[in-house]
């Protein structure tokens, strides 16, 4: 079934196909985001540099602002981004440890 833009959907099957396609794209984007966490783990010289609360707040504020501009529920998007950033930090810490363990 071809993917229809939301405004052209006429059936729930079309809506679900669009949601499923969007979810696949989101996972692909998350894979790219986490690849940047691998790069950060490689670049940061100290494990303590992985958690940066100022940067975390900036990333969440950016997401909130984009959500507001798009007419989306900003509080919910900010909560999703808070969880995403925490998951990214945990992933980066694991990557940092893994890289240093394999170098020894």
92 labelled as ligand-binding? yes
**Biggest distance spanned by C-alpha atoms of the chain:** 59
Residue 44 known to bind ligand: yes
Q: Residue 58, annotated ligand binder? A: no
d(CA 41, CA 32): 14
Q: What separation in angstroms does the CA of 47 have from each of 40, 54, 55, 74? A: 11, 16, 16, 32
**Gap between the Cα atoms of 60 and 87, Å rounded:** 13
From the annotation, which residues make up the binding site for substrate?
A: 16, 33, 44, 92
From the annotation, which residues make up the binding site?
A: 16, 33, 44, 92
């Amino acid at each position: 079934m071809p993917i229809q833009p939301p405004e052209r959907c006429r059936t729930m099957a079309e809506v679900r196909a669009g949601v499923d396609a969007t979810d696949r794209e989101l996972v692909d984007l998350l894979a790219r985001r986490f690849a940047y966490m691998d790069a950060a783990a490689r670049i940061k010289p100290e494990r303590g540099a992985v958690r940066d609360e100022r940067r975390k707040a900036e990333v969440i504020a950016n997401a909130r602002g984009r959500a507001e501009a798009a007419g989306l529920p900003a509080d919910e998007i900010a909560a999703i981004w808070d969880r995403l950033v925490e998951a990214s930090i945990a992933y980066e810490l694991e990557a940092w440890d893994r890289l240093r363990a394999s170098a020894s």
